[in-house]
Amino acid sequence: MWFKSNRDCRMILLCIGLVAVFFTFAHLRTLRIRAKEYVASDSSSQWRYSKGFWQRPPWQFDAGRDAFNYGLSDEQCDAAFPGLFAEIYRARDHLLKHNKTIERADVHLYHDEERAGRPHYELHVLLHDGELYVVHENEGVWPHRYRAAAGLASLHRALAAAGAAGGPRRLPNVEFVLNADDYYARPGEPGFADGRHVDDPWTWVMPDFGGWMFSDDGVQSYAQFRADAALVEREYDGADGKSGGGWDDKIPKLAWRGSMTLGESLRQALVEAARGQEWSDVSAMEILADQGIRNNVLDMAEFCRYKYLAHTEGLSWSGRLRYLLNCESVPLVHEREWVAHFYPLLEAAGARPNFVAVRRDWSDLAARMRELEASPARARAIAREAAARFRDRYLTPAAEACYLRRMVAVYASVQGFEPASHYDVVEEEDDEGSSGAMGWGGRRRGGNGAGCLFLTI
C-alpha cells in the first residue's frame, strides 16, 4: 500500500513538473515575441534579438544623433568617415618619401628679414601633456588673429573631447607653426594651414576656421549656421508644417555673391558668363563697413533656397564651399588651384557625383546649366548626394574633431624630436628673436618677457 502511494506521488510530481516546464517555455516565448516587437518599434535601441540571442549590431554614424559628437573613438571615426584623412596621410607620405622628419629647426616663425616687409600672421603652437599653448605670435593684419583663435578653438575642443568615448586618450606632444593667412608663404617647410596650393606638397591642411565661426562675413558660429540652413531646408520638405514644397519649389537659378577685390579675374569671369541669363542670380557684393553700406548681400543660409550654387576661389582657397555644401543644392565648382581638407571627397564623375565641374574661366557655364535644366532628375540626385556626403557626414563638427585628432597623431609620427615643456620652449623661442604673443589675454610665462598662453577656451 505504501509503495503504491509513493509511486502515485511521484507521478503527480512528474506531471506538475512537466506542466511547469511547459508554461515556463510558453512564457519565455511570449516574452521573446514581445521583446522583439518592442525593439522593432523602438528605432533608437541598439540591441537586436537574432537566432536566440540579444546582439548589438556594429555602430553606424547617424547624423541626427552624432553630428555634434566631438568625442567619437578612433574606431568610430574610421567607420564613419572613410577617406576623410586623405590629406593627412598625403602630407605624411610626402615626408617619408623624402626620408625627412619634422625637426625642431623646422618649427619657427618668420624673422623680420624673412617677411620682406609683408605682414604675415603665424603662431608657434605647442601641445604638451594634453594642454594647448600659444608660444609666440607673428602679428599680421586683421582678421587673421580672429581666424587663428577660431582654428585653435576647434583644435582645443577636439582635444578636450578625446576622452569622451573609449576611455581617456592622451594625444602625443607636438609642436608646429600655424599659418593664419589666406595662403601659406613658406612652401618647402612643414606647417599647418587652412589650405595649400596644388603645387605645395609640404603643407599640412587642417579644417579652416569656419568650422568654429566666420566672423568676417557675419556668419557667426558654424553650429548656428547649420541650424539656420536646416530651417530653410525644412521649408522645402514640408517638415515645417506650413509648406509642402520640395526641390521643384526652390528658386531655379544659380546664386553667387562675392567681393571683386579677391580673385578678381576668376570672379569677373563668372559674372560675365552669367550676365543676362534667365538662370542667373550672380552679382558682386558692395560692402563699405565704414559707411554702413551692404549692397547685394545674401545671408549664407538663404543660399539654400536656390537650386544651383556657384563656388569661386579668392586670394587662395575659399571658405565658401563648406557652407554651400550644407544646402541640398547643386554646387558648380571651377577647376581649383587650392586644396582644403575635404576636397579629396569631391566627385564630379562616377555613379554618385556630388558637384558639377566647370572650367576655371567659366566658359562652359552656360552649357553646364543647360544640361542641368534639361535633366532635373540628375540635378536633384547631385543635390541630394552633396548634402548626404558633406552636410550629413564629412562636414559635421564630429568629422572635424576626428580629423584634428588624427592630424595631431599622424604629425607626431613623423616628428623627429620630443617637444619640451612650455617653459623651455619659451626660452628657446625668445632667443630666436621672434615677436611675442601679444594680446591673447593669457598669463605670460618664461623668461625675458616671452609670451606663452595656456589656451582655456
Q: How many other β-carbons are positioned within 10 Å of the β-carbon of residue 317?
A: 24
Rounded Cα distance between 355 and 424, Å, is 49
pLDDT of residue 216: 60
Structural domain boundaries enclosing 314: 61-457
Q: Are residues 215 and 364 in the same domain?
A: yes
Instruction: Answer yes or no: pTM beyond 0.85.
Output: no
| CB-based contact 145:157 (threshold 8 Å) | no
Query: What pLDDT, on the 0 to 100 scale, is given for residue 195?
Result: 94
Residues 366, 304 share a domain: yes
Comparing CA positions, the residue from 140, 177, 149, 136 lying closest to residue 449 is: 136
> 421 and 316 in one domain?
yes
- What are residue 308's DSSP bridge partners? 254, 330
Indicate whether 15 and 73 sit together in one domain.
no
Residues 7 and 71 occupy one common structural domain: no
Q: For residues 88 and 90, what is the distance between their CA atoms, to the nearest angstrom?
A: 5
Q: Which residues contact 12 (CB under 8 A, 6 or more apart)?
A: none
- pLDDT of amino acid 138: 84
Same domain, yes or no: 294 and 271: yes
Statement to judge: residues 29 and 127 lie in one domain: no
Residues 22, 166 within the same domain: no
Of 34, 55, 76, which closes a domain? 55
In this structure, the answer to whether residues 7 and 124 fall within a common structural domain is no
Backbone torsions φ then ψ of 249, nearest 5 degrees: -90, -5
Q: Concatenate the DSSP letters of all residues of 395-416 into one string.
A: TSHHHHHHHHHHHHHHHHHTB-
Helix (H, G, I), strand (E, B) or coil at 308: strand
Number of structural domains, the chain? Answer: 2
Q: Which residues contact 438 (CB under 8 A, 6 or more apart)?
A: 137, 139, 451
Cell of 201: 606638397
Enter the C-alpha cell of residue 169. 586618450
Domain boundary among 39, 55, 71: 55
29 shares its domain with 164: no
Q: How many helices (H) and strands (E) in the chain?
A: 13, 19
| 143: preceding bond cis by omega (within 30 degrees) | yes
* pLDDT value of position 443: 38
Q: Do 128 and 47 have their domain in common? A: no
Ordered mean pLDDT values, 10 residues apiece, the chain (457 residues): 55 59 52 43 54 78 97 95 99 96 91 62 91 86 80 93 65 93 76 93 94 77 95 82 73 94 88 97 80 79 97 90 98 97 98 98 98 97 98 98 97 96 67 47 36 44
Both 47 and 194 in one domain: the answer is no
In DSSP terms, 338 is beta-bridged to: 197
Spatial distance between the Cα atoms of 122 and 177, rounded to a whole number of angstroms: 7
Separation of first and last alpha carbons in the chain = 91
pLDDT at 433: 46
